Structure 1
Amino acid sequence: MENQQHQFPIPPHTWNRPIGLGWDNPYTVRMASNLDDGPWHGMPLGGFGAGCIGRDSRGDFNLWHIDGGEHTFKSIPACQFSVFEQQAKSTPQAFALCTEPPTDNTLAAWQWYPGRGNGVYHARYPRSWFVYENVFQAQLSCEQFSPILAGNYQETSYPVAVFVWTAHNPTNQPLTLSIMLTWQNTVGWFQNAIKNPEIRMRDDGSPVYEYEPCLDSVGNFNRLVAEDNLCACVLERVASDLQDGIGQWAIATTQQPNVEVFYHTRWNPIGNGAEIWHSFTHDGSLPNIENTTPATNKEQVAAAIALRFTLQPGETREIPFAIAWDFPVTEFTPGVKYFRRYTDFFGRGGNNAVAIAQAALQNYQAWQQQIQAWQQPILDREDLPSNFKMALFNELYDLTSGGTLWSAADERDPVGQFAVLECFDYRWYESLDVRLYGSFALLMLWSELEKSVIRAFARAIPQRDDRTRVIGYYYTQGLESPTALRKVAGATPHDLGAPNEHPWEATNYTSYQDCNLWKDLSCDFVLQVYRDFVLTGATDWELLWDCWSAVVQTLTYLKTFDLDQDGIPENSGAPDQTFDDWRLQGVSAYCGGLWLAALEAAIAIGKTLLSYPADHPVSNILASGLDYPSIPETLHIFQSWLARSRPIYQEKLWNGQYYRLDSNSGSDVVMADQLCGQFYVRLLGLPDIVPPECTAQALNTVYDACFVKFHNGQFGAANGLKPDGSPENPNATHPLEVWTGINFGLAAFLMQIGMESEAWRMTQAVVQQVYNNGLQFRTPEAITAQGTFRACHYLRPMAIWAIYGVLTNFQPVIFTRSD
Structure 2
Amino acid sequence: MHPPVNVDDNPTLHTNPLVHKCWDFNGVKGNSSTYYGLFPQAWTVYNEPDPDLELKCHQISPVIPHNYSHSSIPAGVFVWTAKNNSPHVKDLSLLFTFQNGTGGKSDAKGGHQNTMFRHIDEDYEYIGISMKHDDPREIFDRDAHKTVKHNDPVSFAVATRIESKERRLKDNIKARATFATTFQTNSEASLTALWSQFKKRGELDNTNLSEKSKPGTTIGSALAVKKRIGPNEVVTITFSIAWDCPIARFKSGGKAFYRRYTRYFGKRGEAIQRIAIDALKEWTGWHNQITKWQRPYLKEKEKFWSKKMRSALFNELNYLVGSTLWTNGSLIMTEEETQLVQSKEYMGGFYCLSDYGDSIDSLIGNPKFDIGPTFNNCDQLFTGGHALALLWPHLAVAIQKAIVTTVKTEKKIDWQTLLEGISSYSMSWQRKKKGTRNDTVRRQDLNLKFVLQVYRDFRATDDKAFLKLMWPLVRRALKHSKEKFDLNFDGMLESVGGDSTYYTWPSRGCTAYTGGLWVAALKAAKVMAYYRKDISHYVYFDDLYKRSAQIYVDELWNGKYFKLDNSESKASDSLMAEQLVGNWYSISCGLGRTIPTEQAKIALLEIYNKNMCTLPQGKIGVVNGTRPDGSIDSSCLHSKLICPNVNFVLAAAMYQLGLKTECLNLLNNMIDTIYNQMGYCYQMPAAFSADGSATFGSSMCSGLSIWALRWSFESEISFQSSEFKSTSEEYDEKFEQNMTQRIAMLNDKQLKRRENPPPRTINREASVGGKTSAVTSTAARPVQPPPPVIEDSLLNSVRTKVSRSLSFMF
Matched residues, number = 658
Equivalent in the alignment of 2:376: 430
Equivalent in the alignment of 1:581: 504
What amino acid maps onto 2:233 in structure 1?
Answer: E
Most deviating of 543-552 and 156-165? 543-552
Q: Which SS does the other structure have where 2:420 is aligned?
A: coil
Q: CA deviation at 1:348?
A: 1.1
Is the contact between residue 701 and residue 723 of structure 1 (CA under 8 Å) also seen in structure 2? no
Q: CA deviation at 1:412?
A: 9.7
Q: Is 2:587 the partner of 1:682?
A: yes
Match of 2:631 among 721, 726, 731: 726
What amino acid maps onto 1:122 in structure 2?
Answer: Y
Q: Is 2:470 the partner of 1:547?
A: yes
Q: Is 2:109 the partner of 1:184?
A: no
**Unaligned residue ranges in structure 1 (runs of 5+):** 1-47, 53-65, 78-101, 191-211, 467-486, 611-630, 815-819
Is the contact between residue 713 and residue 762 of structure 1 (CA under 8 Å) also seen in structure 2? no
Q: Which SS does the other structure have where 1:548 is aligned?
A: helix
Is the contact between residue 492 and residue 522 of structure 1 (CA under 8 Å) also seen in structure 2? no
How far apart, in 1, do the equivalents of 2:555 and 2:545 lie?
A: 15
Is the contact between residue 706 and residue 720 of structure 1 (CA under 8 Å) also seen in structure 2? yes
Q: CA RMSD in A?
A: 2.5
Q: 1:812 to 1:430 in 2, by over 3 A?
A: farther
How far apart, in 1, do the equivalents of 2:229 and 2:267 lie?
A: 42
Q: 1:373 to 1:509 in 2, by over 3 A?
A: farther
What amino acid maps onto 1:785 in structure 2?
Answer: A
Q: CA deviation at 1:363?
A: 1.5
Equivalent in the alignment of 1:251: 158
Match of 1:150 among 31, 49, 65: 65
Equivalent in the alignment of 1:617: none
What amino acid maps onto 2:156 in structure 1?
Answer: W
Q: Which SS does the other structure have where 1:234 is aligned?
A: strand
Q: 1:235 to 1:812 in 2, by over 3 A?
A: farther
Match of 2:178 among 222, 242, 262: 262
Q: Is 2:537 the partner of 1:634?
A: yes
Q: Which SS does the other structure have where 2:683 is aligned?
A: coil
Is the contact between residue 512 and residue 564 of structure 2 (CA under 8 Å) also seen in structure 1? yes
How far apart, in 1, do the equivalents of 2:441 and 2:553 lie?
A: 27
Q: Which has the higher helix share?
A: 2
How far apart, in 1, do the equivalents of 2:216 and 2:719 lie?
A: 50
Match of 2:560 among 657, 660, 668: 657
Q: Deviations over 1:592-617 (max 9, x none)?
A: 1111111111111112111xxxxxxx
Q: Which SS does the other structure have where 2:59 is aligned?
A: strand
Match of 1:74 among 13, 29, 33: 13
Q: Is 2:158 the partner of 1:235?
A: no
Q: CA deviation at 1:742?
A: 0.9
Q: Deviations over 1:62-103 (max 9, x none)?
A: xxxx222443341254xxxxxxxxxxxxxxxxxxxxxxxx1x
Q: CA deviation at 1:335?
A: 5.7
Q: Which SS does the other structure have where 2:237 is aligned?
A: strand
Q: 1:508 to 1:551 in 2, by over 3 A?
A: farther
Q: 1:580 to 1:405 in 2, by over 3 A?
A: farther
Q: 1:601 to 1:462 in 2, by over 3 A?
A: farther
Q: Is 2:373 the partner of 1:440?
A: no
Is the contact between residue 513 and residue 576 of structure 1 (CA under 8 Å) also seen in structure 2? no
Q: CA deviation at 1:239?
A: 11
Q: Which SS does the other structure have where 1:545 is aligned?
A: helix
Q: CA deviation at 1:512?
A: 3.5
Is the contact between residue 64 and residue 70 of structure 2 (CA under 8 Å) also seen in structure 1? yes
Q: 1:117 to 1:516 in 2, by over 3 A?
A: farther
Most deviating of 318-327 and 601-610? 601-610
Under a length normalisation based on structure 1, what TM-score does the superposition of the two structures give? 0.76
Q: CA deviation at 1:796?
A: 2.6
Match of 1:111 among 4, 24, 32: 24
Q: 1:645 to 1:237 in 2, by over 3 A?
A: closer
Q: 1:460 to 1:652 in 2, by over 3 A?
A: farther
Equivalent in the alignment of 2:445: 520
Equivalent in the alignment of 1:8: none
What amino acid maps onto 1:558 in structure 2?
Answer: S
Q: CA deviation at 1:810?
A: 6.5
Q: 1:346 to 1:811 in 2, by over 3 A?
A: farther
Equivalent in the alignment of 2:312: 391
Residues 232-631 of structure 1 aligned to structure 2 (within 5 Å): 232-237=128-133, 246-256=153-163, 257=168, 258-272=174-188, 273-332=191-250, 333-334=252-253, 336-383=255-302, 384-407=305-328, 409-411=341-343, 414-424=346-356, 427-460=373-406, 487-488=413-414, 490-491=415-416, 493-503=418-428, 505-506=429-430, 512-536=437-461, 539-559=462-482, 560-573=484-497, 575-610=498-533, 631=534
Is the contact between residue 562 and residue 570 of structure 1 (CA under 8 Å) also seen in structure 2? yes
Q: 1:425 to 1:181 in 2, by over 3 A?
A: farther
Q: CA deviation at 1:578?
A: 1.5
Q: Deviations over 1:403-431 (max 9, x none)?
A: 43343544497010111112446631121
Is the contact between residue 462 and residue 491 of structure 1 (CA under 8 Å) also seen in structure 2? no
How far apart, in 2, do the equivalents of 1:739 and 1:441 lie?
A: 18
Q: Deviations over 1:299-334 (max 9, x none)?
A: 222111111122122221010000011111101343
Equivalent in the alignment of 1:3: none
Q: Deviations over 1:324-368 (max 9, x none)?
A: 111111013436211111111111111111111111111111211
**Unaligned residue ranges in structure 2 (runs of 5+):** 138-148, 169-173, 330-340, 359-372, 721-810
Is the contact between residue 451 and residue 524 of structure 2 (CA under 8 Å) also seen in structure 1? yes
Most deviating of 752-761 and 794-803? 794-803
How far apart, in 1, do the equivalents of 2:268 and 2:681 lie?
A: 36
Is the contact between residue 107 and residue 270 of structure 1 (CA under 8 Å) also seen in structure 2? no
Q: CA deviation at 1:400?
A: 1.2
How far apart, in 1, do the equivalents of 2:99 and 2:478 lie?
A: 53
How far apart, in 1, do the equivalents of 2:25 and 2:127 lie?
A: 26
Equivalent in the alignment of 1:214: 106
How far apart, in 2, do the equivalents of 1:793 and 1:245 lie?
A: 26
Q: 1:72 to 1:498 in 2, by over 3 A?
A: farther
Q: Which SS does the other structure have where 1:586 is aligned?
A: coil
Larger Rg: 2
Match of 2:609 among 685, 690, 704: 704
Q: Deviations over 1:131-187 (max 9, x none)?
A: 11232242111111111111110111110010001112112222222111111111x
Under a length normalisation based on structure 2, what TM-score does the superposition of the two structures give? 0.77
Q: Is 2:621 the partner of 1:716?
A: yes
How far apart, in 1, do the equivalents of 2:618 and 2:384 lie?
A: 23
Match of 2:45 among 121, 127, 131: 131
What amino acid maps onto 1:112 in structure 2?
Answer: F
Q: 1:173 to 1:687 in 2, by over 3 A?
A: closer
Q: Is 2:666 the partner of 1:762?
A: yes
Equivalent in the alignment of 1:624: none
What amino acid maps onto 1:498 in structure 2?
Answer: S
Q: Deviations over 1:711-742 (max 9, x none)?
A: 4862111111123320232x632212110011
Q: CA deviation at 1:748?
A: 0.5
How far apart, in 2, do the equivalents of 1:751 and 1:541 lie?
A: 30
How far apart, in 1, do the equivalents of 2:449 and 2:667 lie?
A: 24
Q: Deviations over 1:462-492 (max 9, x none)?
A: 77687xxxxxxxxxxxxxxxxxxxx52x336
What amino acid maps onto 1:232 in structure 2?
Answer: G
More contact order relative to length (CA 8 Å, sep ≥ 6): 1
How far apart, in 2, do the equivalents of 1:813 and 1:422 lie?
A: 29
What amino acid maps onto 1:709 in structure 2?
Answer: T
How far apart, in 2, do the equivalents of 1:213 and 1:749 lie?
A: 47
What amino acid maps onto 2:607 in structure 1?
Answer: V
How far apart, in 1, do the equivalents of 2:602 and 2:378 lie?
A: 29
What amino acid maps onto 1:547 in structure 2?
Answer: M
Q: Deviations over 1:358-398 (max 9, x none)?
A: 11111111211111101100100122211111111111111
Is the contact between residue 460 and residue 492 of structure 1 (CA under 8 Å) also seen in structure 2? no
How far apart, in 2, do the equivalents of 1:784 and 1:181 lie?
A: 42
Q: Which SS does the other structure have where 2:22 is aligned?
A: coil
